[in-house]
């Protein structure tokens, strides 16, 4: 079994608005279940740090950037559909 990659996430949120809060909850749950011990989550508030959002062209919140493993992908939404998120992360739903 080859060395499994570490997942780096950056989640842009609009503070604790409903979608943003849900996204954070969903992301944490997925990481706990499927990426235990091999994930990093950075949360950025577009209100408190708009300059960063500006540089990264964040228009919709929540936006999740998957920085590693490459390539960088961005997912917009509250990440409510777990199966779809796993598919995008290229993870097997059966493997924990």
Partner 1 sequence: MSPPRSRVSIIKAVPKALTGIIGFDQITGGGLPRGRTTVLAGGPGCGKTIFALQFLVNGVQDYGESGLFVAFEEAPKRIAANAAAFGWNLHKLRHGKLLFMDAQPKIDLVQCGDFDLCGLLAMLEVHVKTHGTRRIVFDAFDIMVTLLPNAITKQREIYRLHEWLLAHDLTALITAKTSGDEPSSIVQPFGFMQFMVDCSVILNHGVVLGVSQRHLRVQKYRGSGFDENEAPFVIGKDGLDVAITRSMGHSDVKISNGRVTSGVKRLDAMLGGGYYRGASVLITGFPGTAKTTLSGAFAEAACGRGERTVFVSFDSDGSEVIRNLTSVGIRLQRYVKNGLLRMISARTLTGSAEALLVRVKALSQEHRARCVVIDPVSRFAKSGNELTAHGVAERLIDWSKADGITLVCTSLLDEMSDQTQGSTPLQISTMADTWVHLSYLVQAGERNRGISIMKSRGMAHSNQVRELVLSDAGVTLADIYTAEGAVLMGTLRWEKESAERVENEVAEIAGKLKRVRLNAEEAELQVRAKSLRTELIAKQVERTLLARTAGTRKDELSRTRVRRKELRGDHFPSLRRR
Region near partner 1 per CB under 8 A, out of 3-11, 28-36, 84-92: 84-92
Nearer to partner 1, 5 or 50 (CB): 50
Q: Is 23 within 8 Å of 75 (Cβ atoms)?
A: no
Region near partner 1 per CB under 8 A, out of 1-9, 31-39, 42-50: 42-50
CA 61 to chain centre: 12
47 binds partner 1, rule: CB under 8 A: yes
17 binds partner 1, rule: CB under 8 A: yes
Alpha-carbon distance values, 50 to 3, 26, 47, 65, 83 (Å) = 37, 23, 5, 16, 31
88 binds partner 1, rule: CB under 8 A: yes
Q: What is the DSSP letter of 65?
A: E
């Amino acid at each position: 079994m080859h060395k499994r990659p570490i997942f780096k996430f950056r989640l842009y949120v609009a503070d604790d608005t409903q979608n943003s809060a849900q996204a954070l909850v969903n992301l944490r749950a997925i990481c706990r279940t499927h990426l235990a011990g091999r994930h990093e989550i950075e949360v950025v508030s577009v209100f408190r740090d708009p300059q960063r959002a500006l540089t990264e062209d964040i228009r919709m919140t929540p936006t999740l950037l998957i920085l590693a493993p490459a390539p960088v992908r961005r997912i917009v939404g509250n990440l409510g559909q777990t199966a779809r998120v796993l598919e995008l992360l290229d993870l097997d739903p059966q493997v924990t």
